[in-house]
Amino acid sequence: MRGIKAPDPSEVGLFYDRFAQLSAMADPEANLHFGYWDGPDDDASLPQAAARLTEIVIEKVRLGAGGHLLDVGCGIGGPGVHLAQTAGAEVTGVTVSQEQVKLANQRAAEAGVADRVRFELADAMKLPYAADSFDAAWALESIIHMPDRGQVLREMARVVRPGGRVVLTDFFERAPIPEYKRAAVETYYRETLLGPIVTLDDYPGLVREAGLMVDELIDISENVMRRTTQEASRLKQAVPAEVQQMHGDDPAFQFDPGDLTDVWEFGYLLVVAQRPRG
């Protein structure tokens, strides 16, 4: 697993360019990440559960009106626009996909928040912003693609003011993945252009070395992984013919998320950190 070659950000950009329209169609709230279910009786759909995960990250980032968020790996803008609408915050988002920049800015305009929300093309590994320019930063399921987590965390720590929060979600290895389950995870990593895999034990050091303090490190796999992979698999099997025609040959699209449903060793992590007040 650790031998997988990290993708280049420009390849990741082209990958998201290809799927930009489809992701906008798939979720009316424009969340491009896994879902969160409260428990077995929670019958939320995948888009509803993805919106719930956005709510959780919004709670953790604790920004109010006038606070300025950097959204690292902003996708098609759903989470950032939602924060602007619900908390009145200002948002700057970055992505490596030009198509996402377009759709995300369109979404901000349609939501009537374009005066305080903007999305730009930039690489999180070298953020084009001055030190201390944001009140908080989040990276919602985007650090998964990045070749060097330490570098991204240092960049987020640099641009967030002292006392500001850094919140992110990540995939991680909860326990060694047994040989017979590895093919599915490796295929997922290769086809969706994921960077190196980490364990929970890697995180305290990564966060501290970036100059941040850990507030919370929570394994939310039980609320996220099984249901997301089951739902995504079900939705994929039911895609309209025109989507199948457009994406059917794409190896990333051919991957069945249901292949990960029983890989409980592959987990989902919520990280809340803070830049010390100085």
Which of 124, 157, 168, 197 is close enough to bind ligand SAH by CB under 6 A? 124
| Amino acid at position 115, single letter | D
Q: Is 100 in the site for ligand SAH (CB under 6 A)?
A: yes
Q: Is 35 in the site for ligand SAH (CB under 6 A)?
A: no
Contacts of 188 (CB under 8 A, 6+ apart): 194, 255, 257, 259, 260
Helix or strand or coil: residue 90?
strand
Which of 92, 95, 105, 274 is close enough to bind ligand SAH by CB under 6 A? 95
| Residue placing its CB nearer to ligand SAH in the complex, 78 or 257 | 78
| Residue placing its CB nearer to ligand SAH in the complex, 156 or 177 | 156
Site size toward ligand SAH (CB under 6 A) is 24
Q: Is 142 in the site for ligand SAH (CB under 6 A)?
A: yes
Residue among 265, 188, 261 nearest 228 (CA)? 261
Q: Is 137 in the site for ligand SAH (CB under 6 A)?
A: no
Residue 257 CA to chain centroid, in angstroms? 17
Q: Is 125 in the site for ligand SAH (CB under 6 A)?
A: yes
CB burial class (10 A; 0-12, 13-18, 19+) of residue 180? exposed
The stretches of 46-97 forming alpha helices (DSSP H) are 46-61, 78-87
- 93 - beta bridge partners? 71, 119
| Residue placing its CB nearer to ligand SAH in the complex, 74 or 225 | 74
CB-based contact 231:46 (threshold 8 Å): yes
141 as an active site residue: the answer is yes
Q: Is 94 in the site for ligand SAH (CB under 6 A)?
A: yes
Quote the Cα angle for 124-125-131, to 5°: 75
| Nearest distance from C-beta of residue 87 to ligand SAH, angstroms | 17
Tell me which stretch binds ligand SAH (CB under 6 A): 90-98, 110-118, 181-189, 267-275: 90-98
* Active site amino acids: 141
Applying CB under 6 A, the residues found at the interface with ligand SAH are 9, 12, 16, 31-33, 73-75, 78-79, 94-97, 100, 123-125, 140-142, 145-146
